[in-house]
Amino acid sequence: MTIGCDVLRRPFPAFFLSFSVMGSLLILALLVPLVVILISSSPADVVKSLRDSEVVGAIIVSMSAATLATCIALIFGVPLAYVFARKEFRLKSLLESIVEFPIVVPHSVAGIMILLAYHSRTPIGHILSNLGVAIEDSFWGITAAMLFVSAPILVSTVRAGFSLVDESYEHVARTLGASQLKVFFTISLPLAFRSVLSGAILTWARSISEVGAILIIAPYPKSAAVLVLERFEAFGLTAAKPLTVLLVVISLAIFVLLRLITKR
């Protein structure tokens, strides 16, 4: 019908124009800091900061702790997300709330909660420290803080992915002779793979950006976000900039990757 086409060809109506202008102001407000940080440090400064062993060490700590936290979240979170997506049971909403709770807790508070629950003198902490996994001022503490704040993101993203997989695929696969476990690995997981992947990337990114809980539990060894804060406090803005740019570039790369995966 030509009427519909005419409507589409009409110039941007005033209503959308005004909304777009308002929206553009927000986009601008978000974009300016990104542009400013990228142009305010020279590539030479960034390269120089890469030669700083403390910076490199902090980035390695952050990336490896975030990777470990993501792996743990995947191993335990994916099965949990599947149960949440597929089963109805008593106390389900209570359990869902427990999993989502860390999202609403201020991160410094989360740090205190983790420390109180798992420090070496608590029963669980005692067992863990005997196994060489004491959380105070350790790599494991950074990982624990990252896991606490990021696992809810993984569970909710993956759960949404499983919910979108039509259960009839699983039913048919079972009638064809596949066990429940085989169906999970050959049907459910491949069909929800994109959600699992974006969940993992978001979890990793959230872990990398964590500061509050890490400062309480394990300010040492230094993670990248903690080092930025420390340099800013000790030496001011200029000293913090090169490392900040590095972290922005890493975050940007992850973000672009995520967009590419989810848009594909």
Partner 1 sequence: MKATNVLEIVQLSKKWKDFSIEDVSLKVEKNEYFVIMGPTGAGKTLLLQLIAGIHTPDKGKIIIEGEDVTFLPSEKRRVGYVPQNYALFPHLSVMDNIAYGLRAQGLDKDSAKKRVISVAEDLGISHLLKRKISTLSGGEQQRVALARALVISPKVLLLDEPLSALDAQTREGLRSYLRELKRKLKLTAIHVTHDFVEALELGDRLAVMFRGRLTQVGSPNEIIFNPRDELIAHFTGFKNVFDGVVVEEKDGVSVIDIDGIKIFTITNKQGAVRVAIRPESILVARHPVTTSARNMLKGVVQEVIELAPHIVIKVDAGIPLTVYLTKSALEELNIRVGTEVYLLFKASDVKVF
The span of 92-100, 107-115, 140-148, 161-169 binding partner 1 (CB under 8 A) equals: 161-169
**Interface pick for partner 1 out of 168, 234, 263, 264 (rule CB under 8 A):** 168
Binding mask 119-158 for partner 1 (x = CB under 8 A): ----------------------------------------
Whether residue 11 has a cis bond before it, omega within 30° of 0? no
The span of 14-22, 168-176, 207-215, 243-251 binding partner 1 (CB under 8 A) equals: 168-176
- Integer-rounded Cα Rg, in Å, for the chain is 23
**Interface pick for partner 1 out of 171, 237, 238, 249 (rule CB under 8 A):** 171
Binding to partner 1 (CB under 8 A) within 19-58 occurs at none
Nearest approach, Cβ of residue 185 and partner 1 (Å) = 11
Nearest approach, Cβ of residue 256 and partner 1 (Å) = 25
Contact present, 246 and 55 (Cβ < 8 Å): yes
Site size for partner 1 (CB under 8 A): 18
Nearest approach, Cβ of residue 179 and partner 1 (Å) = 6
> Roughly what angle, to the nearest 10 degrees, separates helices 92-104 and 53-86?
160
Who contacts 23 (Cβ-Cβ below 8 Å, separation ≥6)?
none
Cα-based torsion angle of the residue sequence 129, 134, 136, 142 in order, rounded to the nearest 10 degrees: -160
**How far apart are alpha carbons 16 and 154 in whole angstroms?**
35
**How far apart are alpha carbons 161 and 158 in whole angstroms?**
5
* 92 counts as binding partner 1 under rule CB under 8 A: no
Query: What are the angstrom distances between the C-alpha of 101 and each of 13, 18, 94, 150, 233?
Result: 43, 38, 10, 11, 31
**How far apart are alpha carbons 161 and 200 in whole angstroms?**
12
Binding mask 174-203 for partner 1 (x = CB under 8 A): xxxxxxx-x---xx--xx------------
Nearest approach, Cβ of residue 162 and partner 1 (Å) = 14
Nearest approach, Cβ of residue 184 and partner 1 (Å) = 13
Nearest of 186, 192, 204, 188 to residue 158 by alpha carbon: 192
Contact residues for partner 1, defined by CB under 8 A: 166, 168-169, 171-180, 182, 186-187, 190-191
